Amino acid sequence: MSRGEGAALRLEGAGTDLEDIEIQLLLEGIRLCYGYDFREYALSPLRRGVAAAMAREGVQTVSAYQDRVLHDAACMQRFLGTVGVNVTSMFRDPDLLRCVLEDVVPLLRTYPSSRIWVAGCASGEEVYAFAVLLEEAGMLKRTSIYATDLNEDMLAIARLGSYPLEKLRRYEDAYVVSGGQTSLADHYSVAGRTARFNRDLQASITWARHSLVTDGSFNDFHLIVCANVLIYFRASLQERAHRLMYDSLVRGGFLALGKRESLLSCPDRDHYEQVRDGVNLFRKMRW
């Protein structure tokens, strides 16, 4: 084990008071230097992220890592990928997608056009899942999907809409359980080992950088999807993000969260009603 890996392992465990101070200084430095604000992210995933980043860079102390991050924008970009936790997939929560198809889409049909915001979209798979299902429901042409993330590198992958073919093939079962009507393969073209989603899906999606920590509302939406992002925030930050999403929803709009997330830290939780038991889809009923 290298010395950098040893230091990182120690940090991933309980850590020490000194390391906690170093982490605070690292986050403050990143905020001042680059404008990213991780100060209110949940401590354990943050520690794991810093530990992994230190091991990758081969440095032994958080202070040495801070020195590198502040002087090297590429290192900062790599840090974003690590602390942001970019793990994602298509059709991750089939029950939720089916509920959207059955309970939200019929309402969207009553509007001439509608807007959906997918916040924290990572490399875009989740967004293409929504686009595919909306297209099959005949709703894509009158829906605008806004997909945002903190990390420009992830958005660049998402914009391309190209993924390893093997990966997309593995989603076929979840696509059917989510309410898919034909085959996922009908929605992409294949070149070698790569699959690229069709142009009409891409045309309905606007990709943009947006931070749930530092940016404000930019439109009002009929559906907001924010899955597996709030779990990385402390309660105070979850509260901020919830307020932003509540303010960005139209009257009667819907909020979809990840399976491990809830409205617990939402200041307006009494204004929402859960659409279906066991599914994290909520409707803004009072305002």
Q: Which residues bind ligand SAM (CB under 6 A)?
A: 84-88, 92, 120-122, 126, 149-151, 154, 211-213, 227-229, 258
- Beta-sheet strand order (sheet of 205-209): 205-209, 143-149, 114-119, 221-226, 249-257, 281-284, 272-274
Could you tell me how many residues make up the chain? 287
Least distance (Å) from ligand SAM to the CB of residue 214?
A: 7
**Closest Cα partner for 256 from 87, 40, 94?**
94
CB 68 within 8 A of CB 59: yes
Q: CB 81 → ligand SAM: shortest distance, Å?
A: 8
8 Å CB contact between 204 and 233:
no
| Residue number, 7 or 79, with CB nearest to ligand SAM | 79
| Minimum separation from the CB atom of position 220 to ligand SAM (A) | 19
Q: 7 or 255: whose CB is closer to ligand SAM?
A: 255
CB of 138 to ligand SAM, least distance (A): 25
Name which of 7 and 38 has its Cβ closer to ligand SAM: 38
Residue 91: strand, helix, or coil = coil
Residue whose CB is less far from ligand SAM, 91 or 272:
91
Q: How many CB atoms lie within 10 A of CB 8?
A: 26
Angstrom distance (rounded) from CA 52 to CA 45: 10
CB of 270 to ligand SAM, least distance (A): 25
Alpha carbon distance, N-terminus to C-terminus of the chain: 56
**Closer of 60 and 162 to ligand SAM (Cβ):** 162
